[in-house]
Amino acid sequence: MHNIIALKSHKAPRETSFLYGRVEEAGGADDYGIRLENGTLLTARRARGCLLAPMPGDEVLVADDGERAFVLNVLTGAQERTRIVLPELCELEGGEIALTGRKAIALESPRVSLTGIMGEARFKSISLLSQWCDLRIRKIVAVAEVWDRVVGRLTERIRDSYRRIENTEQTTAGRIRTIVRGRFSLAAKDAALTAEEDLKMDGKKIHLG
């Protein structure tokens, strides 16, 4: 009796070629039509490691094994504006990361979150526009040379308030009403109370002099 041993045949690995081409058209799902140097139109997908999105007219490096073709890198760009495409979920990690824009940096997202132990922002001019602002701060120290506020309605609830004004405080209002539950004391070196029409003082006891 003869023993027959079946040998498993292994397919020879496909040889991969690296080609230069130019992006002619961009399809869906990161598919691109690449025009090779010999005139052949090759369909290739953008490799995951190729973060720069190919644009029509860009010269790219393509890997082709006869069955699959991938755009590995964008070599030259035909347009001034380009786009970096990241996966749906990604992280940028490093010891120290610096972003520098020679003209401008813009962040746009439905939700932006900044978290850290210490933060510092320096601007020569800043503009903040918001429909709703909620601040929860334990201590605020503000130093300003000039402070101008334009408010439609201001409501404050303060436990204790202490103000020290070196020179002048002036209030111009249509009406002023002050309600004090306890003692009201007013002390000044010189005081003047003037009313154009009526001046009323009412109390159980009134001491003058």
50 vs 35: CA distance, rounded Å:
18
| Residue 41 and residue 33 in contact, taking contact as beta carbons nearer than 8 Å | yes
pTM for the full model?
0.62
What is the predicted pLDDT for the residue at 9?
54
pLDDT at res. 86 = 85
Q: What is the distance between the alpha carbons of residues 10 and 184, in angstroms, rounded to a whole number?
A: 99
pLDDT of residue 66: 86
Write the single-letter amino acid at 103: K
Q: How far apart are CA 87 and CA 114, in angstroms?
A: 21
Question: Domain segments of the chain: what residues?
Answer: 17-76
Fold of 17-76: OB fold (Dihydrolipoamide Acetyltransferase, E2P) (2.40.50)
Q: What is the pLDDT of residue 154?
A: 92
User: Residue 106, exposed/middle/buried by CB under 10 A (0-12, 13-18, 19+)?
Assistant: exposed
| Per-residue pLDDT at 6 | 57
Per-residue pLDDT of the chain (209 residues; tens, 9 = 90+): 566 665 555 565 668 889 999 999 887 778 899 999 899 999 999 999 998 999 999 999 999 998 899 999 999 988 888 888 888 888 888 999 999 999 999 999 999 999 999 999 999 999 999 999 999 999 999 999 999 999 999 999 999 999 999 999 999 999 999 999 999 998 999 999 999 999 998 888 888 87
Query: What is the predicted pLDDT for the residue at 1?
Result: 55
The one-letter amino acid at 44: A
Which pLDDT score is estimated for 12? 55
